């Protein structure tokens, strides 16, 4: 089960997971922030999980073994330890995390600053992380909530909750690895933490120091996600001889040359001819 709004939801991606694991893949099309901030995605994941274990799901041809449920999460971190109204034989057997963000009680700028210089230079830009986190976590949300900042949960609390074993992947060039290690230290089971040497944030989908074309394609998808989440008002599709996508606060995100398909995302209307 995808326990994060960032994990793949396209049928072809789910089929790939099924082919690799033979498991039933549950993928929820979450209501997106900022219109639907935390805890909407969390509650929808819980509702989908409950439904998948009911007779209604069985009638749809979905036969889930309630004692063998794994929840995978990308970036947002572990979120599904609800037990109410689940079958008595329900058991989550695994947390699967890819470069999770687990200490949202601290501003991203501070988490970025405490990392190594090399990691800071390759991590998600502060402006982008702030936009994402502020979208999902408006000021009214308590950032110390363990569903928001799992690192805030003590070892004793995790033991009481009987949190399942975890497999956690981090990138050596991603500042989020620091909180990943902290969370792993709090876990009391036989957990596995694997750091991908040279991996940056998004290493599972982002080309590592690849061609400029690959980097442009990745930046395009990042910007498109931000647009879909309501961060910007307008999108223009451009094919120009020389283009720079600019972050109004930090500077250049990526450069592109003729033939690259780009989305220029702005907060105001732009004269296309100019």
Alpha-carbon distance of 153 to 20, in angstroms, equals 33
Structural fold of domain 11-196? Rossmann fold (3.40.50)
Q: What is the pLDDT of residues 171-227, one digit of tens each?
A: 888 899 889 888 888 876 545 555 556 656 655 555 454 444 444 444 544 554 544
Q: What is the pLDDT of residues 80-92, one digit of tens each?
A: 555 677 888 988 8
- Cβ atoms 268, 234 nearer than 8 A: yes
Q: What is the pLDDT of residues 93-128, one digit of tens each?
A: 888 887 888 999 999 999 999 999 988 988 888 888
Question: What φ, ψ does residue 228 adopt, rounded to 5°?
Answer: -60, -30
Q: What is the pLDDT of residue 59?
A: 94
Q: What is the pLDDT of residues 152-162, one digit of tens each?
A: 988 888 888 87
Q: Whose CA is closest to 114, among 106, 199, 141?
A: 106
Q: What is the pLDDT of residue 14?
A: 75
Mean pLDDT score of the chain, rounded to an integer?
71
**What is the pTM assigned to this prediction?**
0.65
Tokens of residue 260, six digits: 């690259």
Domain boundaries in the chain?
11-196, 212-266
The answer to whether residue 141 scores a pLDDT higher than 60 is yes
Q: What is the pLDDT of residue 253?
A: 40
Q: What is the pLDDT of residue 273?
A: 39
Phi/psi class of residue 61: alpha, beta or left (left: φ > 0; alpha: ψ in -120 to 50)?
A: left
Tokens of residue 222, six digits: 């990042």
Give the N- to C-terminal CA distance of the chain in Å, as an integer.
47
């Amino acid at each position: 089960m995808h326990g994060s709004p960032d994990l793949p939801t396209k049928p072809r991606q789910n089929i790939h997971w099924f082919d690799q694991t033979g498991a039933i893949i549950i993928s929820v099309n979450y209501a997106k922030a900022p219109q639907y901030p935390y805890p909407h995605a969390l509650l929808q994941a819980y509702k989908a999980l409950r439904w998948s274990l009911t007779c209604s799901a069985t009638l749809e041809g979905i036969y889930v073994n309630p004692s063998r449920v794994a929840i995978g999460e990308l970036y947002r971190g572990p979120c599904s330890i609800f037990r109410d109204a689940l079958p008595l034989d329900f058991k989550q057997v695994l947390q699967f995390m890819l470069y999770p963000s687990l200490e949202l009680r601290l501003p991203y700028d501070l988490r970025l600053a405490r990392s190594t210089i090399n990691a800071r230079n390759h991590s998600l830009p502060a402006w982008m992380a702030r936009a994402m986190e502020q979208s999902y976590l408006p000021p009214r949300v308590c950032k110390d909530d363990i569903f928001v900042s799992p690192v805030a949960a003590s070892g004793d609390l995790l033991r009481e909750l009987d949190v399942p074993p975890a497999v956690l992947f981090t990138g050596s060039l991603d500042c989020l690895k620091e909180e990943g290690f902290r969370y792993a230290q709090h876990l009391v089971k036989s957990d596995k933490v694997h750091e991908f040497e040279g991996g940056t944030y998004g290493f599972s989908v982002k080309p590592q120091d690849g061609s400029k074309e690959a980097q442009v394609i990745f930046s395009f998808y990042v910007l498109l996600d931000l647009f879909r989440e309501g961060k910007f008002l307008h999108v223009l599709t451009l094919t120009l001889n020389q283009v720079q996508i600019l972050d109004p606060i930090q500077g250049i995100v990526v450069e592109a040359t003729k033939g690259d398909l780009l989305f220029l995302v702005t907060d105001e209307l732009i004269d296309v001819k100019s």
